[in-house]
Amino acid sequence: MLVLLICSLGVLEIYSATISTKFMGVHLKQVYWILGGVGLMFVVSFFNYQALLERVPLMYLISIASLIAVELFGKKYLGARRWVQLGSFHFQPSEWVKLVLILAMAKYFADTKSECTAQDIVKAGALVGVPMLMVLVQPDLGTALTYIPIAIMGLFLGGMKARHALVILVLGALLAPVGWHVLKPYQRDRLTSFMEPEADPQRHGYQVIQSLVAVGSGGILGKGTAHGSQTQGQFLPVPHTDFIFAAFAEEHGFLGAMGLLLLYFIVLMRLVQNAQTAPDRAGAFVVMGVVAVLAFHVLVNVGMVVGFMPVTGIPLPLMSYGGSSVLFMFLALGIVMNIRMRRFVN
């Protein structure tokens, strides 16, 4: 129910943000996606998740294959090759890979002992790392980054020792400069403009500044639906997708935005509770994988909007416009429901 509340707020804001643009009417599409998603969720919830887990190796191979397919036949849009066209609609395989990775991590750690060895860490890292690199070359830094919390959550719950974590941290710090060179110029610009948005207000800093202005000018009570000047004046970039939270915060103010954050927090807490009552180790891992992805999305997206995080193309789950993202969330929630339903089994 909470989830649907968030979704409807999303639809409302998509409507408001696109009311005067060429995207007008997409909120209806979003409703269809959500209805489809809910249906999917219930369907999935009746499958035994353990059966799903047993097919993980196959699914993993399919997802690798689909990522290769994107690289080969993908549609180029806005400079990145992320979509494949299936019939009349575009499909973004990197979304569905997320789900497979959650299941794969769960499967992997469910089969190991509670002790987590260095070997396990390397194997799990490779499991996530391979598709992550493939998404990186699309290039889609944002989605690639969402794979990391899946790995971290898996490792953390899998019983990673503190000294292993320390080693990974140190390695990561050492590799960071290398990573800087791998980044595309526009990605670097986004990072630098995050540090100093004022340095280049017309170009790369533009989105950050406009987003801050949108949120800040919303004040405590907000400007009201369809009355946000930043949103309606098209100053805010993509107000119906990545910057939907900024649009929402502008039009509904601090109270509205806090309420929305609270909804997300409650949803996440409920999910963790599901993990605690999950019938087995694998189930708990799956739920916590979903928690990791959802929390990461919220953190990065809202963080970006309030200026704590650099601009990445990470949508706000359940609110941002986009079919793949909506379907992913409901699919994931469907599996969680299934796990919840089976908490007394066994």
Partner 1 sequence: MFGRDEKVSQLRLTAVQYVLLGVFLVLAFGLWRLQVARSDYYSTLAEQNRIKQVPILAPRGKILDREGRIIVDNYPSFSVLLLRDQNRNLQADADKIAAGLHIPPDELRARLKRMAAVPGYQPLFLKDDITPDELAFIESHKAELPELDTITVHRRLYPRNGFMAHIIGYVGQVSEDMLTQPQWELYNPGDIVGMSGVEQYYNDILIGKNGSRQVLVNSRGKEVGTLSDVSAVPGKQLKLTIDLDLQIAAEEALEGKPGAIVAMDPRNGEILAMVSRPAFDPNEFAVRITRDEWNRLITDPGKPLLNKAIQAQLAPGSVFKVIMSTAGLQEGIAQNLVINCGGGKTFYGRFFKCWIASTHGSHGTVGISKAIYQSCDSYFYTLAEKLGISRIAKYATMLGLGQKSGIDLPQEVSGVMPSEEWKIKNFKQKWYAGETISVGIGQGAVATTPIQLARAVGAITSGGVLVRPHVAFPDQFPPGFKQVANYTDQVKIPLDQENWIIITDALANVVSPIGTAGSAHLPGIDFAGKTGSAQTISNQLKAKMGSSEKSKFKDNGWFVGVTPRRNPEIVVACLFEGGEHGALAARVAAKVIKAYVEKQRNSKTQVAKASGTAAGSQQAEVAAVWHEGDAKTPDKMQAGHFTVPTDGKTKPVTSAPGVGEADKPIPRADLETTESHVEMAHPETEPPAENQPTAPATTPEQQAPPAPPPTTKKPAAEPTIAPAAAVLPRSQS
Binding site for partner 1 (CB under 8 A): 20-22, 24, 110, 114, 153, 156-157, 159, 210, 212-220, 229-230, 233-235, 249, 253-254, 257-258, 261, 264-265, 268-269, 272, 275-276, 278, 280-282, 284-285, 288, 291, 295, 298-299, 302-303, 306-308
Q: Which of residues 67 and 305 has its CB atom nearest to partner 1 in the complex?
A: 305
Q: Which of residues 187 and 217 has its CB atom nearest to partner 1 in the complex?
A: 217
CB of 53 to partner 1, least distance (A): 11
CB of 302 to partner 1, least distance (A): 5
Burial-class residue 115 by CB neighbours within 10 Å (0-12, 13-18, 19+). exposed
The SS3 of residue 125 is helix
Do residues 213 and 230 lie in contact, with contact meaning Cβ atoms separated by under 8 Å? yes
CA distance 52 to 72: 28
CB of 288 to partner 1, least distance (A): 7
CA separation (Å) from 302 to 31, 207, 268, 293, 297?
A: 23, 14, 15, 14, 8
Q: Which of residues 95 and 280 has its CB atom nearest to partner 1 in the complex?
A: 280
> Cα-Cα-Cα-Cα dihedral of 155, 47, 146, 284, to 10°?
-30
Name residue, tokens 């180029």. 76
CB of 238 to partner 1, least distance (A): 10
Q: Which of residues 38 and 213 has its CB atom nearest to partner 1 in the complex?
A: 213
Q: Which of residues 92 and 210 has its CB atom nearest to partner 1 in the complex?
A: 210
DSSP 74: P
Residue closest to 143 by CA, chosen among 346, 317, 314: 314
Q: Which of residues 91 and 109 has its CB atom nearest to partner 1 in the complex?
A: 109
List the structure tokens of 139. Answer: 């290039």
CA distance 155 to 109: 8
CB of 217 to partner 1, least distance (A): 4
Helix (H) / strand (E) containing 255? helix 244-276
Residue closest to 209 by CA, chosen among 306, 298, 302, 301: 306
CB of 346 to partner 1, least distance (A): 8
Q: Which of residues 134 and 335 has its CB atom nearest to partner 1 in the complex?
A: 335
Q: Which of residues 135 and 311 has its CB atom nearest to partner 1 in the complex?
A: 311
Cβ-Cβ contacts under 8 Å for 92 (sequence gap 6 or more): 82, 83, 84, 324
CB of 291 to partner 1, least distance (A): 7
DSSP 209: H
CB of 32 to partner 1, least distance (A): 21
Asked whether the bond before 139 is cis by omega within 30 degrees of 0, the reply is yes
